Amino acid sequence: MANKSVWSDNRFWQRSATWVTGFAAILLIWLTFDTSAQISMGTDKDIQNKVTKRVPGPTVINYKITYERSPKRGLEVPIIGGNDGKGNSLFQEKEKFFGRDDWSEKEARAMLHLGKLGSQAKNCMDCHTLLGNGAYYAPDLTKSWLDPMWEDGTMQAIIGGTLGKELSKEEAMAEFLQHPELYPTHARQMPNLGITKKEAIGIVAFLKQMSSIDTNGFPRNFGKMKGAINGK
């Protein structure tokens, strides 16, 4: 009689399960250390030193942000303060944010903190997606700062027209966030969530900073598609 095969031995499979699980868990923990270092938020010093971080620091709000194709990586990346022509950020071109382009790290961090807290306190993620995660009842906010609706002045005209004054992009966004029910763009309307002016400014800072995060090219071709759609 042949000996009983190890393949039908429960102890063998129990040990295998333990080893496989342990190995996978250790690998995940190791990768977590590497990823954590790569996605830690940058600082103002990084920006001054022209260091590209996957998650730039809060003072990125002082700079012009675009989303352009990097020939080297073959996908779109956030470009901060101008493009060197090869898909790298120059960290030069500034952009006024609520009238200033010299927000200190402390000020910018406070705005971002308030905005991120606000995004949670108002349950943004249960209608919108952020970095593609959340609910699908309203548009994705990952690159909303760069949306053509704001870039080409459509929303500024609607909101500014209602209020009878000229508004910058960030001012119009903050106004929209405080009174979304006044500016419907679709039958599905954002409700008034009691967002204060200060909170709205914080949320806009949060959205601008989020648009500067390197998301490996998600969403693809954002705002690049022009011309005839549905025969229009």
Partner 1 sequence: MANNHLTSESKQLATWYLTFAAILFGAQLLFGLIAAIQYVMPGFLYGILDFSIARILHINALVVWMVFAMFGSVYWLLPDETGIETIGIKVGKLAYWVFVAAIVVVVLVFLLIQVGPASDTTIWFITEGREYIEAPRWADIGIVVVALTFVANLFLTGMKGKQTGIVTVLMADMIAFAGLYLAGMFFTDNISVDQYWWWWVIHLWVEATWEVFVGAIAAYGLITMIGAHRKVVEMWLWIEVAMLFGSGILGMGHHYFWIGTPEYWWEIGALFSALEPLPLVAMFVHVLYDWGKTQGAQNANGDETSVITNKPAFIWFVLNAFGNFLGAGVWGFFHTLPQINLYTHGTQFTSAHGHLAFFGAYATILVGMMYLAVQGKNGIKVMKNTKTSIWAVSMITGGVMGMTVALTIAGYVQVIVSRAQMGATWAAYFDGQSGVWFTQAMDWRLIMGVITFLGFLLLAKDLLTTGKNPVHER
Residue 213 in contact with partner 1, rule: CB under 8 A: yes
Name which of residues 192 to 211 contact partner 1 (CB under 8 A). Answer: 192-194, 196, 199, 202-203, 206, 210
The C-alpha atoms of residue 210 and residue 197 are separated, in whole angstroms, by 20
Residue 120 beta carbon to partner 1: minimum distance, rounded to whole angstroms = 3
d(CA 102, CA 100): 6
69 makes contact with partner 1 (CB under 8 A): no
Indicate the pairing of strand 75-80 with strand 129-130: unpaired
Residue 109 interacting with partner 1 (CB under 8 A): yes
Please state the closest distance from residue 37 (CB atom) to partner 1, in A.
10
Q: Which range touches partner 1 (CB under 8 A), out of 44-52, 94-102, 139-147, 166-174?
A: 139-147
Residue with tokens 């200033």: 100
Cβ closest to partner 1, residue 164 vs residue 192: 192
State both tokens at 81: 């303060």
Draw the binding track, 141-180, toward partner 1 (x: CB under 8 A; -: no contact).
-xxx--xxx-------------------------------
Q: What span, in angstroms and rounded, lies between the C-alpha atoms of 157 and 153?
A: 6
The answer to whether residue 16 forms part of the interface with partner 1 (CB under 8 A) is yes
Q: Are strands 129-130 and 133-134 parallel, antiparallel or unpaired?
A: antiparallel
CA contacts within 13 A on the Cβ side of 98: 18
